Amino acid sequence: MLFWLPVVSLWRRELTRFARDRNRLFGAIGQPLVFWLILGSGFEKSFAPSGISGGYLEYIYPGTLLLILLFTAIFSTISVIEDRREGFMQAVLVAPVPRVGLVMGKVLGGGTLAFLESAVFLVFLAFLDIPISIASLGLTLVFLAVLGIALTALGFAIAWRSTSTAGFHAVMSLFLLPMWVLSGAVFPPDGASRWLAWMMAVNPLTYGMAGLRHALYFSTSGANAQLWFCGLISVGFAGATIGAAVWQAWQKK
Amino acid sequence: MHAAIDVQNVSHRFGERVALDGIALQVKVGEMYGLLGPNGGGKTTLFRMLCTLLTPDRGTIRVLGKNAVAEAREVRARIGVVFQQPSLDARLTVLENLRHQGHLYGLKGHALAQRIEEALDMMALADRATDRVEVLSGGLQRRVELCKSLLHRPEVLIFDEPCAGLDPGARRGFWNDLDILRRAWGTTLALTTHFMEEAERCDRIGILDRGRLIAEGTPEALKREVGREVITLEARDPEALRLQIEAAVDRGVQVIDGQVRIACNDGQQLLAELYPRLREDVRAMTVSVPTLEDVFVQRTGHGFHREEA
């Protein structure tokens, strides 16, 4: 059956478009970098996260990785709105390609970009006091890949419904960014007030964030039950968002 | 042998608005069929159904003998669609766009390269293959769209307003391309349009107004039904003029968009008869052979370019 050929073709299109757009190339990594440096250095001395030896620059580093994933996912799914308004997506819809293939191509494409951008950001590990092993690096990359796909699929599901990029921006600032802030990226759930801690507990991204932290600080000697639990939730989150994206694409307007 | 497109009793609503109301039509294999109608007439709704993007509330649509809803996948594999909006990725080159399109239809490798070469040759685009689409003119982009829809050698090609937004030169070029295509492959073509000149070039047309098929036939036959000539009069008070003419001669007189209109077979003579009696009211008068617009006006009693109420 015709499935992987269109998926690969759509995936390659995402990468080609990205490579030809310098602004996106630097935008998705530059903004989080500035953010990380300013916020991290600003709070460095006045904020002492519990359970982490380093300062705030180190605490917010995994959060910045997640922010890069989120930004890249948003940038690449925003094109869904243009594609739908123009004929590109329509041409895909009238081709004998299952909707799942369309979603997979787009989500794998955006997910790949998110993964690559965040992986590049890992070079800054050199300036941090996090002990890195092959195992921890590998696990971190796995989490980045899973979360990149999950966030791209989430962006896709939202963008498919949006009629304008302005509407998508509204969702981004009212839903996606708070979701990131409330994932433990900026402050740990332990110290948050009760209602906020509760919101963080139901936020699936919280487990992605925690998983990413666990992966970065992974050591074979310690207990890693939490890591596997977070991994499970993250994979489930990715499955759910892909499902939502496919379901959206299935609906006839 | 079955029809290329067979629309049976199709009705559709968007909320309260009736978009299509009991449409039935057939397009024969090898034919060029035009759906003519004003904006909001239901053309685009029907187009979306023909290319399997919209399920009708009632009725059935068969394309090449396959049900456009239940067997959508098979229909999709055998039709080509050209949308009104550009479907090319402007950031990619012509070749990249065509390759991507081929992949969507399961074409790859050498076979795909051959199809692309063939389509580019037919549309005389070979020398632009490595250009990015964004640098091409509107007319050339349109031609690439056509190329793109041909790669999987569709048996039926469906167009939505193929020439909207093109300048006259590019429009002529596009119709020329269609002629080349028909001569080469004999592809069945179905298109929507609100340009009379485009509808004129079709083998057969169906005229849609407010969701209903109000006329169907060859452009010549439809125009013949109107009469040999149409007299159009412009006056300060068209309604008064209409009454005046009706009192003078026993003819069907219509007021359309502020113009008085008489369809007849003896235009010269009738005008000569009317002229001495009416000239004080009349600012301009013309006798012309009927156009498809006259067919529309005759059947509906209102103008083609009327504002939507």
Query: Does B273 lie in the same domain as B139?
Result: no
Annotated domain spans of chain A: 4-250
Inter-chain contact A6–B89, Cβ cutoff 8 Å? no
**Size of chain B in residues:** 309
Query: Does B104 lie in the same domain as B238?
Result: no
In order, the DSSP letters of A6-72 are: HHHHHHHHHHHHHHT-HHHHHHHHHHHHHHHHHHHHHHTTT---TT-SS-HHHHTHHHHHHHHHHHH
Residues in A closer than 8 angstroms to B94, CB to CB, are none
Question: How many angstroms separate the CA atoms of B89 and B100, rounded?
Answer: 10
Question: How many angstroms separate the CA atoms of B112 and B119, rounded?
Answer: 11
Q: Which of B222, B246, B279 is the last residue in one of the domains?
A: B222
Q: Does A170 touch chain B (CB under 8 A)?
A: no
Query: Does B250 lie in the same domain as B188?
Result: no
Q: Is the pLDDT of residue B146 over 90?
A: yes
Average pLDDT of A56-76? 93
Inter-chain contact B89–A17, Cβ cutoff 8 Å? yes
* C-alpha B281 chain-centroid distance: 38
Query: Does B253 lie in the same domain as B206?
Result: no
Q: Which of A222, A143, A218 is nearest to A183 (CA)?
A: A143
Output DSSP code: residue B132. B
Q: Which stretch of A54-63, A217-226, B204-213 has the lowest confidence by average pLDDT? A: A217-226
CB B17 within 8 A of CB A215: no
Q: Would you place residue A82 in the very low, low, confident or very high pLDDT band (cuts 50, 70, 90)?
A: confident
Query: Does B189 lie in the same domain as B238?
Result: no
Query: Does B185 lie in the same domain as B80?
Result: yes
Query: Does B252 lie in the same domain as B182?
Result: no
pLDDT on residue B308 = 46
pLDDT on residue A223 = 66
- Out of A5, A13, A17, whose CB is closest to B106? A5
CB A68 within 8 A of CB A114: yes
Q: Is the pLDDT of residue A97 over 90?
A: yes
In a domain, residue B241? The reply is yes
Average pLDDT of B49-75? 95
In a domain, residue B309? The reply is no
Q: Does B96 touch chain A (CB under 8 A)?
A: yes
In a domain, residue B308? The reply is no
Average pLDDT of B77-102? 95
Residue B78 is part of a domain; what is its CATH number? 3.40.50.300
Question: How many angstroms separate the CA atoms of A26 and A14, rounded?
Answer: 16
Query: Does B150 lie in the same domain as B251?
Result: no
Q: Which of B173, B206, B222 is the last residue in one of the domains?
A: B222
Residues in A closer than 8 angstroms to B105, CB to CB, are 2, 95-96
pLDDT on residue A29 = 81
Q: Would you place residue B309 in the very low, low, confident or very high pLDDT band (cuts 50, 70, 90)?
A: very low
Inter-chain contact A94–B77, Cβ cutoff 8 Å? no
Give backbone dihedrals phi and psi of B219, rounded to 5 degrees, phi first: -55, -40
Q: Which stretch of A186-190, A212-216, A234-238 has the lowest confidence by average pLDDT? A: A186-190
Query: Does B234 lie in the same domain as B217?
Result: no
Question: How many angstroms separate the CA atoms of A123 and B214, rounded?
Answer: 69
In a domain, residue B285? The reply is yes
Query: Does B98 lie in the same domain as B243?
Result: no
How many separate domains does chain B show? 2
Q: Does the predicted TM-score (pTM) go above 0.90?
A: no
Give residue B240's domain range: 228-289
- Burial label for A134, CB within 10 Å (0-12, 13-18, 19+), is exposed
Q: Does A19 touch chain B (CB under 8 A)?
A: no
- Out of A85, A86, A96, whose CB is closest to B105? A96
In a domain, residue B205? The reply is yes
Strand bridging mode B58-63 / B5-14:
antiparallel
Query: Does B180 lie in the same domain as B115?
Result: yes
Summarised one tens digit per residue, pLDDT across range B178-197 is 999 999 999 999 999 999 98
Q: Does B269 touch chain A (CB under 8 A)?
A: no
In a domain, residue B120? The reply is yes
CB B101 within 8 A of CB B148: yes
pLDDT on residue A184 = 92
